């Protein structure tokens, strides 16, 4: 019982960290880029990456050991939709991550990285889309947890 509750807690903590990191990215991508906002973006993206790995590991543990059984989730339409959405968000996050990582040498010299308006608008629309898909993912999580969309073993 306690292990299951702690796994649920850790899962929610990771889910909140992902949502928070994306909101920090969206806000920090507004306006002119500074050394401080570029560093904030790099750190938020690092937290996003760590939380994403954590949520997969904890999620698998919940599927296998702590919740309804693997058989249930593999026959749950919202669970499968949740995994597809999670993969889509992960793929969308590649371009922002590569952009932020390319700034490390400029930031090491305390210089503002080169970042034109077109690239900035592109990243903002990607992060917007990630957040929209995350909202749909959380809906799928609630449906899955309450047994909606279960196709029966
Ligand atoms: C961004 C990624 C994710 C978010 C935001 C997220 C969010 C959530 C939320 C909010 C719940 C609670 C649902 C409720 O009780 O109403 C939940 C439950 C759960 N999640 Fe995730 N999750 C994510 C990724 C994953 C992954 C990758 C897996 C599996 C590999 C997973 C497996 C589970 C399981 C097994 C439960 C318990 C469902 C139940 O009570 O039967 N989640 N998730």
- Residue 81 in contact with ligand 1 by CB distance below 6 A: no
Q: Is residue 6 part of a domain?
A: yes
Q: Is residue 70 part of a domain?
A: yes
Dihedrals phi, psi of 150, to nearest 5 degrees: -85, 125
Q: Is residue 126 part of a domain?
A: yes
- Residue 86 in contact with ligand 1 by CB distance below 6 A: yes
The pTM assigned to this predicted structure is: 0.91
pLDDT in tens, 26-49: 999 999 999 999 999 999 999 999
Residue 96, CB half-sphere, CA atoms under 13 Å: how many?
31
Q: Is residue 151 part of a domain?
A: no
What's the pLDDT score for residue 152? 80
Q: Is residue 153 part of a domain?
A: no
Residue 59 Cα to ligand 1 middle (Å): 6
Q: Is residue 150 part of a domain?
A: no
- Residue 78 in contact with ligand 1 by CB distance below 6 A: no
Q: Is residue 30 part of a domain?
A: yes
For ligand 1, atom 4, name the residue with the nearest CA.
15
For ligand 1, atom 28, name the residue with the nearest CA.
59
pLDDT in tens, 62-102: 999 999 999 999 999 999 999 999 999 999 999 999 999 99
Q: Looking at the 3D structure of the chain, how many domains does it have? A: 1
- Residue 67 in contact with ligand 1 by CB distance below 6 A: yes
Based on its alpha-carbon atoms, the radius of gyration of the chain, rounded to whole angstroms, reads 18
Determine the structural domain holding residue 137 and report its residue range.
Answer: 2-145
For ligand 1, atom 11, name the residue with the nearest CA.
141
């Amino acid at each position: 019982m306690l292990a299951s509750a702690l796994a649920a807690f850790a899962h929610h903590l990771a889910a909140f960290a992902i949502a928070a990191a994306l909101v920090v990215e969206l806000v920090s991508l507004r306006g002119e880029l500074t050394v401080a906002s570029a560093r904030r973006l790099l750190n938020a993206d690092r937290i996003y990456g760590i939380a994403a790995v954590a949520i997969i590991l904890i999620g698998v543990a919940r599927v296998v050991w702590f919740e309804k059984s693997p058989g249930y989730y593999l026959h749950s339409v919202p669970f499968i939709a949740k995994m597809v959405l999670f993969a889509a968000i992960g793929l969308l996050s590649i371009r922002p991550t590569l952009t932020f990582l390319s700034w490390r040498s400029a930031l090491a010299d305390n210089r503002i990285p080169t970042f034109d308006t077109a690239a900035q608008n592109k990243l903002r629309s990607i992060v917007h889309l990630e957040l929209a898909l995350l909202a749909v993912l959380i809906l799928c999580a609630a449906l899955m947890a309450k047994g909606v969309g279960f196709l029966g073993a």
